[in-house]
Homo-oligomer: A and B are copies of this chain.
Amino acid sequence: MFEKILENVAMQTPLVHNITNYVTVNDVANIVLACGGSPIMADDLTEVEEITSICSSLVLNIGTLNARTILSMIKAGKKANELGLPVILDPVGAGASKLRTNMTFKLLEEVKFSVIRGNISEIKTIYAGSGLTKGVDAAESIEDENINEIIQFTKDLSIGTGAVIATTGATDLVVHHEKAYIIKNGHPMMSKITGSGCMLSAVIGAYCGANPEQLIDSTAAAVCVVGLSGELAYQKTIATGGGTSSFRTHFIDYVSKLDSSLLKEGMKIESR
């Protein structure tokens, strides 16, 4: 069902402008390349508008936010809005500190986002206008008993912001207005490496960059590809006696090798 989306990425090699954290930036660049895009990182206030202008999409990730990059994010975001480019927000740790929470709201005020991707805790922080996360991991999980509730409030949030809302965890929800996808790909070992969330946001950036008219489907496709790569990587890690670092290598490997037919076979998605 996502053949055309993957094809467009492969054909266009979308250039993705990332203003992101210095912890996972190398993984982010490598996964953008692996999924068929081309990454560019630039965060100086004097060049972000020019860099955004030559790109297909912009990904803003607040993982190691500081006073300097905040301004660059807003400036790049406004330029992307002006040019009609997809802008993805990864509100890493929103709720964990006032700086991150306030900055998330500031960004939401100044920039119109196409996709917001976070864990349940970060998304709830945005929804509630307040909240508390323990670090960068989900404080609560998406379970069968609360899934309808989460779909409901992320639909509200989607309508309020105009953005696709991707809430990721053991189960992933991708919601836009009245449409929702439930995705059950992925593996718990993904939480044993740093940056699986950041990497997913960047892949969403590449997919949306090549498919700006199909934001929810591009986001869902990216979530499936990344989750399925995690599953396959886990199998290979176990089969070869590896640990978490081998898993990371296999994970990016599979993103670089996955095609439409493998995706079709392995994706676990339903629409609601």
Complex Cα distance A49/B64, Å?
15
* A30→B193 contact, CB < 8 A: yes
16 additional A-B pairs beyond A40-B93, A246-B253, beta carbons within 8 Å, are A23-B25, A26-B27, A26-B195, A30-B244, A30-B245, A30-B248, A33-B244, A40-B96, A42-B93, A46-B67, A47-B65, A54-B134, A55-B135, A243-B253, A243-B255, A245-B251
When C-beta atoms are compared, the residue in chain B nearest to A17 turns out to be B135
Residues of A within 8 A of B (CB): 15, 21-27, 29-30, 33-34, 38-44, 46-47, 50-51, 54-55, 63-68, 93, 96-100, 134-137, 192-195, 242-246, 248-257
Which B residues touch A22, using CB under 8 A? 22, 25, 41
When C-beta atoms are compared, the residue in chain B nearest to A41 turns out to be B23
Query: 30 A-B residue contacts at CB 8 Å?
Result: A15-B135, A23-B29, A24-B26, A26-B26, A26-B27, A26-B195, A29-B194, A40-B93, A40-B135, A42-B97, A44-B66, A44-B99, A46-B98, A47-B97, A47-B98, A47-B99, A47-B100, A50-B96, A50-B99, A54-B135, A243-B252, A243-B254, A243-B255, A243-B256, A244-B252, A244-B256, A245-B248, A245-B249, A245-B251, A246-B250
Number of copies: 3
Complex Cα distance A16/B50, Å?
32
Whole-angstrom distance from the CB of A29 to the nearest CB of chain B?
A: 4
Whole-angstrom distance from the CB of A83 to the nearest CB of chain B?
A: 16
* B65→A44 contact, CB < 8 A: yes
* B192→A34 contact, CB < 8 A: yes
Whole-angstrom distance from the CB of A30 to the nearest CB of chain B?
A: 5
Whole-angstrom distance from the CB of A140 to the nearest CB of chain B?
A: 16
* B243→A34 contact, CB < 8 A: yes
- A253-B257 contact in complex given A54-B96, A97-B50, C-beta closer than 8 Å: no
Which B residues touch A64, using CB under 8 A? 41-44
Complex Cα distance A193/B93, Å?
28
Complex Cα distance A25/B195, Å?
12
Complex Cα distance A245/B15, Å?
20
- A33-B194 contact in complex given A22-B25, A54-B96, A100-B47, C-beta closer than 8 Å: yes
Complex Cα distance A51/B255, Å?
33
Which B residues touch A24, using CB under 8 A? 26, 29
Which B residues touch A44, using CB under 8 A? 64-67, 99
- A256-B96 contact in complex given A66-B43, A244-B34, A248-B30, C-beta closer than 8 Å: no
